[in-house]
Amino acid sequence: MLEQFEKCLKRVNFYLRFLGLSLDSRDKNKSMLQLIRSHRLYTLHFFSLNIEVAAEISWVFEAIIAGKSFIEITRLIPCLILCFISNFKTISILYYAHYNNEFIETMRSLLMDLNTEDEGSRLKKKLIDTHVLMLISISKKTIYLIIIGLGMFALAPFFIIVPHYWKTNEVKLEMPFIAYYPFDEFDGWVYPCIYIHQVFTAICAIFMVYGPDCFFFTCCTFLHIQFSLLIYDMERIVNEVSHSCDRLKFKMLAVRHIELMRCVNLLEKIFSKSILFNALTSSMIICVTGFNVLVVDNIVMTASFTTFLIFGLMQIFLYCYYGDTIMRSSMEISDAIYNSHWYDIGIAERKSFLIVIIRAQKPCELTANGFFKINLRAFTSILSTSWSYFALLKTMYHPE
């Protein structure tokens, strides 16, 4: 299981190193300024992305003043929000680097101590493989979706330029994203440079979102596996034949439970603020992107926004799904102890069991910085809010 955890971390590091970041234990005792200096590539990507963000914000202000098309303005909003999310997520990963490494080191020690050589090892291995394969499948499908979406956004201008040239015999250049520049971006060699820069910053922005997300999903997957294995061991802690409890083993399981709760708290510290920002903006992304899918008359742009919409829905659903699995599996510890043959053991052991039951009845929860819990109920709430915003937006576009 430790080997599988390391492989999943290697996948996360692959995405983060593209951005100039990594889950490196050497970052443990560094200040924020030292972290920035040691991540020059990330700093370069950060400034490159935010130059483009500034250009897009300038265009929005100019568009509002000039009274430009409502569709054009809403077309840019999801891209801007995604850029803000990407900034927030990567800064959180960098700022909480010491918590990242503390979580990784704790999880490694727990996995090293895990015993999979007992009578239930085959069942445990099946459980581990199922969840790890699910994580890998999600990762692959998300990457395919990202590649399709980025490809469509990058190629969309050509599907506008070519038909226009075919009809009018005139070349009208377009950019993947609308932005305001203090120079003519369609002039000579400037156009390909700006075009490449926009595509590259789009790639950076999407991986600045997905890299931290992939780390979160990996952490939650292995936490859920650990809770599930703990449930399995707790249910069988009392020997049915001898009607006795191995006190040393129970103590080890109780310590493992405490360590798992500490890991959830570390995850809460790392991601709670970025989850809050993500949750607050998800409704806007979903409703505006859905609106663009309906009103944009260009097939390629419609397909691009469709992949964007699927990515936005998938991202917030996975956050809520993994938050829900952590909450449910942590609460099932108390049920597991109650389902064991606790009535066959002595009073002293029963008291120890009761302490763990009481502790486990308070679920380990991931929250949006304490404002609300991240679970499947939160996902339905986000969808409901998105639909309300979408209905309002549609009414504004069709006042009749």
Nearest 10 degrees: Cα torsion 145, 147, 151, 152: 10
Q: What is the 3-state secondary structure (H, E, C) of the chain?
A: CHHHHHHHHHHHHHHHHHCCCCCCHHHCCCCHHHHHHHCHHHHHHHHHHHHHHHHHHHHHHHHHHHCCCHHHHHHHHHHHHHHHHHHHHHHHHHHCHHHHHHHHHHHHHHHHHCCCCCCCHHHHHHHHHHHHHHHHHHHHHHHHHHHHHHHHHHHHHHHHHHHHHHHHCCCCCCCCCCCCCCCCCCCCCHHHHHHHHHHHHHHHHHHHHHHHHHHHHHHHHHHHHHHHHHHHHHHCCEECCCCEECHHHHHHHHHHHHHHHHHHHHHHHHHHHHHHHHHHHHHHHHHHHHHHHHHCCCHHHHHHHHHHHHHHHHHHHHHHHHHHHHHHHHHHHHHHHHHCCHHHCCHHHHHHHHHHHHHHCCCCCCECCCCCECCHHHHHHHHHHHHHHHHHHHHHHCCC
Q: What pTM was computed for the model?
A: 0.88
- Cα-based distances in Å from 165 to 115, 121, 159, 185, 393: 68, 66, 10, 19, 34
* Res 215: pLDDT: 92
Grade residue 94 by pLDDT with cuts at 50, 70 and 90.
confident
Residue type at 193 in one-letter notation: C
**For 245, phi and psi rounded to 5 degrees?**
-120, 130
Residue-wise pLDDT for 333-388, tens only, equals 888 888 887 777 778 878 888 888 888 888 888 998 888 888 899 899 888 888 88
How far apart are the C-alpha atoms of 81 and 308, rounded to whole Å?
12
Grade residue 399 by pLDDT with cuts at 50, 70 and 90.
very low
Take residue 159 and report the two structure tokens written for it. 């599907």
What average pLDDT does this structure show over 274-283? 87
- CA–chain centroid gap for 14, Å, is 16
Residues of the chain above pLDDT 70, percent: 92
Task: Please give the radius of gyration of the chain, using alpha carbons only, rounded to the nearest integer.
Answer: 25
Take residue 345 and report the two structure tokens written for it. 């053991």
Residue 33 has pLDDT above 70, yes or no: no
Q: Are 108 and 2 in contact (CB under 8 A)?
A: yes
Take residue 1 and report the two structure tokens written for it. 């299981």
Take residue 252 and report the two structure tokens written for it. 């080890």
Residue 26 has pLDDT above 80, yes or no: no
* Res 131: pLDDT: 87
How far apart are the C-alpha atoms of 316 and 271, rounded to whole Å?
13
Instruction: Output the average pLDDT for the chain.
Output: 83
* Res 285: pLDDT: 86
* Res 91: pLDDT: 87
Grade residue 113 by pLDDT with cuts at 50, 70 and 90.
low
Of 312, 364, 323, 302, the C-alpha closest to 153 is: 302
Take residue 196 and report the two structure tokens written for it. 């490449």
- CA–chain centroid gap for 153, Å, is 22
Strand-pair category, 238-239 with 244-245 = antiparallel
**Tokens 């064991």, located at residue:** 340
Residue-wise pLDDT for 130-177, tens only, equals 888 898 998 888 888 888 888 888 888 888 888 877 888 887 888 888
* Res 119: pLDDT: 53
Least confident residue range of 102-106, 224-228, 239-243, 269-273 = 239-243
Q: Are 399 and 297 in contact (CB under 8 A)?
A: no
